[in-house]
Amino acid sequence: MNCALVTGGSRGIGRAICLKMAAMGYYVIINYKGNAAAAQETLDGVRAAGGNGALLQFDVGSETDVQQVLGAWLESNKDKQVEVLVNNAGIREDNLLFWMNSTQWHNVLNTSLNGFFYVTKQVLNGMLLKRYGRIINIVSLSGIKGLPGQTNYSAAKAGIIGATKALAQEVAKRGVTVNAVAPGYIKTDMTAELNEKELATLVPMNRFGTAEEVADAVGFFASKASSYVTGEVLSVNGGLYT
């Protein structure tokens, strides 16, 4: 059975991606960190749409957690092949660098950048053996242009963009593509406390995007329609160019 693993699939963009993967016919492995009820809602949505999947709780920023939980799952589900990996889990802890403490710096780098490494390490081998795979990393406008107050987050996302381009070249011959999607302002819990009315005026489309609009871009990279595209970063930002 072909699976799509979505990290941070319990809420926001990750949930929309899970539903998209289900619509594309994938068995969806929904990872989350702590919000079991929200993760269950995502699974209910996947099933209501005629799909199926499983919940897998682990902290992407903990190497032992990823090895023990995801590693064990892969080991005991040899009938299920992870064809699509979406590295979506991410957090932000904004502060001007002047005020930023090392916990804020390390938390953000650890979840996004180290999380990408730990999770991708677990599933890459299976893709290489199968000579097919789709890895999609959710980055950010912040990682392309840098945003003040987000040196940690910009660094983490820019780091993943570099890794996307490097890994794409490492695995291209084996039929595995690696791409990134860079959202601008998207309506989720992460942006809930931002002043949407004011910030939307900066966006040429004059509105925040939806999680589904990001999921559609992920769907393109996950599909066979993108077979000759790798190492790319696709912005989904309503024209908010850098």
Which of 27, 32, 118, 153 is labelled catalytic?
153
Strand (E) positions, 151-199? 176-183
Which H/E stretch holds residue 235? strand 233-236
d(CA 210, CA 186): 5
Task: Name which of 132 and 139 has its Cβ closer to ligand NDP.
Answer: 139
Task: Name which of 20 and 33 has its Cβ closer to ligand NDP.
Answer: 33
- Token pair recorded at residue 147: 């945003």
Q: Decide if 132 is catalytic.
A: no
Minimum distance of ligand NDP from residue 131's CB (angstroms) = 28
Strand order in the sheet with 2-6: 53-57, 27-32, 2-6, 81-87, 133-138, 176-183, 233-236
- Token pair recorded at residue 119: 């999770």
Helix axes 12-23, 211-222, angle to 10 degrees: 50
Q: Under a CB-based contact definition with an 8 Å cutoff, are residues 13 and 188 in contact?
A: yes
Binding site for ligand NDP (CB under 6 A): 7-8, 10-14, 31-35, 38, 59-61, 88-91, 111, 138, 140, 183, 185-186, 188-191
> Burial letters for 38-72: b for 16+ Cβ neighbours within 10 Å, e otherwise?
bbeebbebbeeeebebbbbebbbbbbebbeebbbe
Minimum distance of ligand NDP from residue 193's CB (angstroms) = 11
Strand (E) positions, 70-202? 81-87, 133-138, 176-183
Minimum distance of ligand NDP from residue 183's CB (angstroms) = 4
Task: Name which of 10 and 230 has its Cβ closer to ligand NDP.
Answer: 10
Minimum distance of ligand NDP from residue 227's CB (angstroms) = 25
**Cβ neighbours around 31 below 10 Å, total:** 30
Task: Name which of 19 and 132 has its Cβ closer to ligand NDP.
Answer: 19
Task: Name which of 10 and 177 has its Cβ closer to ligand NDP.
Answer: 10
Minimum distance of ligand NDP from residue 239's CB (angstroms) = 15
Residues marked active site are found at: 153
